[in-house]
Amino acid sequence: MGPNFHLKTLVVAVAAFSVASIGNAAGLDRSGQDITAFLQDGLYAEASYTYIDAKVSGHDNAYIGDDNNGYQQGKKIDDIAESYDFFRYGVKADINDTFSVGILYDEPFGAAADYSGDNNFVAKGDTSATINSVSRGKFANVTEALGAQAFLQGEIDRTTDPELKAALTKQKRDVDIALGATQAELNSKGEGTNVEVRSESITGILGMNFGVNKNFQVYGGPVAQQIQADVKLRGLAYGPATGYTAHLSSGKDYGWLAGLSYSKPEIALKAALTYRSEIDHSIPIHEQYPAVGLEMGSSIDITTPESVNFDFQTGVNPTTLATAKVRYVPWSDFNIVPPLYTAVSKAKYPDGLPLVSYDDDQWVVELGLAKRLTPALAVTGNIGWDSGAGNPVTSLGPIEGYYSAGLGAKYNVTENWAVSAGGKYLWFGDAEGKTPTQDIVSNFEDNDGYILGVKVSYQAQ
């Protein structure tokens, strides 16, 4: 008979890898929606904390003209990535040898970016620069724009030709918006672009073991999720939208989870495939759009994306465990479409513009090894890759995925209690930042970050 790979003997668990397994990933992905706490043997409980610190800096775009892709390196953009942290909790218990139940809490989606300094993402109150930028070089200063405004209004009043009147009215509207944006830039002088997104999720899971040796398990359950956000667009980079502000209040809605797992304890093999559904949110939102003098409260529909996670582990020898994680999220289907912002954009873009959207789907792959050094101590190492969600990408999160390398350790304080700690270094992919109008407004290169995590766990078999 081959060697026994029982996890109890190895003193290692997949959970030791998930301390700092995901963070600052594509789109708004944060926790990776890990369910490995539910996959543990016997009675299991954990509480973990993850801290993310990233450096994301670059240059704004000094180009002024009609080419959306035109780029000329401009002023330095200092680090926009705010440090970020989140918690995860999980409890799982066996009712009998067939049924198991669990409750998981995590913070699956989020963002934290803050622009400062002297660049096109900070309102400088320079009226000449604003009117020149927003009008794409048509007006050098406010005086010229006011002259054009008066001239167009006079022509509108004089003409009796409906088609000419409509064309002149459209031209005047563009001048009006440019002048409104100039005033908004002046009023918000010194303020920088800022975004913060927070979410919380509680998942209830019921699992049922089946098969001759109870090696298979199907599981599923409801998911309750809430999300809130604050967005401030400031500076010349956003053209007429400079000064736009939105607050999305917390709203709770529901989805579901389902999965299938297989285990073979004699070689410490576990494999699980988990699907999470989309969750449709209807959230109160308050918007201000100073360039057009509008402010309103309404509601916004946001659908957080579905996802598929694959978790795998197997014993290599009696003291070594290999692991793999794969995650897929279709971020290309996700967008944020605030009612007022989109309605104003229809003046130039008939279909309207989303505030945030992504071009590509996300893939994450992590491979790891765990090694027992003593009966109570095990160490882990892993490498990872995140595909990102497209390039160019929204200027509110300008990175294109990452490569990562991490180390961790798990120490069994007693037979049942353990402490795990880990860290990961991230090499971010270079990315160009774009606005909803698809204009290239920045370029970010050579950025990195790190993740630290700690976990306390209890297990009784």
- Of 137, 158, 187, which residue sits at a domain end? 187
What confidence tens digit (pLDDT) does each residue in 207-229 have? 999 998 999 999 999 999 999 99
What confidence tens digit (pLDDT) does each residue in 378-421 have? 899 999 999 988 898 988 888 888 999 999 999 999 999 999 99
Q: Region 455-460: what's the mean pLDDT?
A: 93
Q: Are residues 176 and 297 in the same domain?
A: no
pLDDT at residue 20 is higher than 80? no
pLDDT-based confidence at residue 11 (cuts at 50, 70, 90)? very low
pLDDT at residue 5 is higher than 80? no
pLDDT at residue 22 is higher than 80? no
What's the pLDDT at 129? Answer: 82
What confidence tens digit (pLDDT) does each residue in 152-181 have? 889 889 888 888 988 888 888 888 888 888
Query: pTM score > 0.95 for this model?
Result: no
Q: Are residues 141 and 272 in the same domain?
A: no
- Amino acid present at 94: D
Do the beta carbons of residue 207 and residue 102 sit within 8 Å? yes
Nearest residue to 30 (alpha-carbon basis) of 357, 281, 331, 374: 331
Question: Residue length, the chain?
Answer: 461
Domain that holds residue 154: 126-187
What confidence tens digit (pLDDT) does each residue in 307-341 have? 999 999 999 988 899 999 999 999 999 999 999 99
What confidence tens digit (pLDDT) does each residue in 269-313 have? 999 999 999 999 999 999 999 988 899 999 999 999 999 999 999
Number of C-beta neighbours around residue 449 at 10 A: 23
SS (H, E, C) 266-327: HHCEEEEEEEECCEEEEEEEEEEEHHHCEEEEEEEEEEECCEEEEEEEEEEECCEEEEEEEE
pLDDT at residue 125 is higher than 90? no
Question: Is 388 a member of any domain?
Answer: yes
Question: Is 2 a member of any domain?
Answer: no
Q: Are residues 67 and 155 in the same domain?
A: no
Question: Is 453 a member of any domain?
Answer: yes
Q: Are residues 143 and 130 in the same domain?
A: yes
Q: Which two tokens stand for residue 260?
A: 């299938």
Do the beta carbons of residue 56 and residue 442 sit within 8 Å? no
Q: Are residues 414 and 307 in the same domain?
A: yes
Question: Is 167 a member of any domain?
Answer: yes
Q: Are residues 345 and 228 in the same domain?
A: yes
What is the rounded distance in angstroms from the CA atom of residue 143 to the CA atom of residue 149? 10
- Of 148, 163, 187, which residue sits at a domain end? 187
Do the beta carbons of residue 80 and residue 113 sit within 8 Å? yes
Count of CA atoms in the C-beta half-sphere (13 A) of 246: 25
Q: Are residues 147 and 120 in the same domain?
A: no
Question: What is the overall mean pLDDT for the chain?
Answer: 89
Q: Are residues 245 and 375 in the same domain?
A: yes
What's the pLDDT at 418? Answer: 92
What is the rounded distance in angstroms from the CA atom of residue 227 to the CA atom of residue 109? 8
Q: Region 356-367: what's the mean pLDDT?
A: 92
Q: Are residues 168 and 305 in the same domain?
A: no
Q: Are residues 271 and 360 in the same domain?
A: yes
Question: Is 221 a member of any domain?
Answer: yes
What's the pLDDT at 19? Answer: 52
What's the pLDDT at 1? Answer: 38
Instruction: Quote the number of domains for the chain.
Output: 2
What confidence tens digit (pLDDT) does each residue in 239-269 have? 889 999 999 988 789 999 999 999 998 888 9
Question: Is 1 a member of any domain?
Answer: no
What's the pLDDT at 18? Answer: 53
SS (H, E, C) the chain: CCCCCCHHHHCCCHHHHHHHCCCCCCCCECCCCCCCCCCCCCEEEEEEEEEEEEECCEEEECCCCCCCCCCCEEEEECCCECCEEEEEEEEEEECCCCEEEEEEEECCECEEEECCCCCCCECCCCHHHHHHHHCCCCCCCHHHHHHHHHHHHHHHHHCCCHHHHHHHHHHHHHHHHHHHHHHHHHHCCCCECEEEEEEEEEEEEEEEEECCCCCEEEEEEEEEEEEEEEEECCCHHHHHHCCCEEEEEEEEEEEEEEEEEEEEHHHCEEEEEEEECCEEEEEEEEEEEHHHCEEEEEEEEEEECCEEEEEEEEEEECCEEEEEEEEEECHHHCEECCHHHHHHHCCCCCCCCCCEECCCCEEEEEEEEEEECCCCEEEEEEEEEECCCCCCEECCCCCCCEEEEEEEEEEECCCCEEEEEEEEEEEECCEEEECCCCCEEEEECCCEEEEEEEEEEEEEC
What's the pLDDT at 25? Answer: 61
Q: Are residues 148 and 253 in the same domain?
A: no
CATH number of the domain enclosing 232: 2.40.160.60
What's the burial of 413, exposed, middle or buried (CB within 10 Å: 0-12/13-18/19+)? Answer: exposed
Question: Is 237 a member of any domain?
Answer: yes
pLDDT at residue 194 is higher than 90? yes
Do the beta carbons of residue 15 and residue 420 sit within 8 Å? yes
pLDDT at residue 10 is higher than 70? no
- Of 187, 209, 238, which residue sits at a domain end? 187
What's the pLDDT at 135? Answer: 82
Nearest residue to 250 (alpha-carbon basis) of 321, 295, 300, 313: 300
Q: Region 125-133: what's the mean pLDDT?
A: 84
Residue carrying the six token digits 């996300």: 362
What is the rounded distance in angstroms from the CA atom of residue 431 to the CA atom of residue 60? 12
Percent of the chain with pLDDT over 70: 95
Q: Are residues 53 and 144 in the same domain?
A: no
